[in-house]
Structure formats: C-alpha cells, structure tokens
Structure 1
C-alpha cells in the first residue's frame, strides 16, 4: 500500500514580476522535509507553481498526496486546467 504524504506549498514575489521565492513542506512517514528556492526576476504564479511542482516531484510516484495551498491558481491548475494543458502539450495562446 502506498504512503500518504502531506504537502504545504507557497510562493511569493516582491513586485510582480520581481524577486520571488517558493517553499514546500513535505510530511512523509519517514519524516519532514523542507524544500525552497527563489528567482531574481519572476512572478507570483510561477513561484506558487514551482512550490507545487518541486513538492510533488520530491514524492514517490505511487504516493497518495494531500496538497495544501492558498493559491487558487495552483488549485485550479492541478485539479481542472491540467487536462487541457496536457492536450496542448503544455502550451497556450501566449506561449505558442
């Protein structure tokens, strides 16, 4: 049986775009892990998504994930929009 992992993810930016950072707090059966990073010229949404991506990437593929976020962008991205993004090979009208 796969383990259940809890992720707390967040991102922020000073200015938008501007200096930004992201963090993911991962709670597994083996312990707690802190992941974090930043970029000198980025956007708030990029940092929010980076936190989620890095947190999810840290976890084993067969794990059950519980993701906590304050970002509607991340929430909608991983529950609604992801299907359309995959169909379009992760491209949109602004990013052909």
Structure 2
C-alpha cells in the first residue's frame, strides 16, 4: 500500500454560515492541494468534508496518516463513536439523530477502504501544513 500524508481543515464565517474546507495530500515529493466551499454550512461539516474529499481523491487503497485539528473528527474515530451510532440506527447517546450523518457514513466507507490513522494537531500553532490548510480553507469560504 502506498503511504500518503494528508492535512485537512475546515473554516466557517459564522457557525452556521458560509464555509470552506481544504486538504493537502502528500506522497513522496508530490503534493496536491484541494479546496471547496458551501454558502450555508457549519465548521464541523467543513472539517468532515475536508477529510472525506481527500480520502475520495485517492485512486486506490492507501495507508493514510490524516492530520486534523478537529477534535470532533478525530475523537469519532479514536473513541469509535460510530460503532454505537451504527448499532443504534444513527442515534447518539441522547437518542437524537447523529448530526452530519450523511458525511459520517461516507467517511466510514472511505476509512474502510483505506488504512487511516487520525493524528490530532494543534490548530493555529506552528505546524506548516495545518497552517497552509487553514489559509486555503479560509480562502475557499464563499463571499
């Protein structure tokens, strides 16, 4: 399996409001930057969309180190929240529908296709690629 490093970030102007997402994919010396945005969304949706779009861009199953500053994204996979969500018909611990179910379901499909390790990075710190994703995500927010 090819080993790919991915950094992702989401941004929102208001929450909800217009939002953008970004990802930087790295394989050896190759780098690819991806961005997108929506006129009405949330910061969490943009964080999930960044991860989803980056994984969907991989043409074949890969070993992925996905760096994120989103505790929401990382905790779901590290703490395996999705196991109970699936078991409970996509209801959370309060018996309410899981927010962003559509993106979570697609993300689960991608994480089952790839070997993904989620790595938490501190946002707005001194991480070159996280800072680049933040810049790209803010730039992708529709005006």
Instruction: Output the TM-score relative to the length of structure 2.
Output: 0.59
| RMSD between superposed Cα atoms in Å | 2.1
Q: Which structure dedicates a bigger proportion of its chain to helix?
A: 2
Name whichever structure is richer in strand by fraction.
1
8 Å contact kept, 1:19–1:40: yes
Tell me which of the two structures has the higher relative contact order, counting C-alpha pairs closer than 8 angstroms and 6 or more residues apart.
2
Report the Cα distance in structure 1 between the residues aligned to 2:83 and 2:72, rounded to whole angstroms.
Answer: 15
Gaps of 5+ in 1: none
Q: Distance in 1 between matches of 2:87 and 2:57?
A: 25
> TM-score, normalising length from structure 1?
0.84
Is 1:6 aligned with 2:5? yes
Matched, 1:16 2:19: no
Measured at CA, do residues 29 and 84 of structure 1 come closer, stay the same or move farther in structure 2, by a change above 3 Å?
farther
Gaps of 5+ in 2: 102-143
Q: What pairs with 1:1-96 in structure 2 (closer than 5 Å)? A: 2-29=1-28, 31-79=30-78, 80-88=80-88, 91-92=90-91, 93-94=96-97
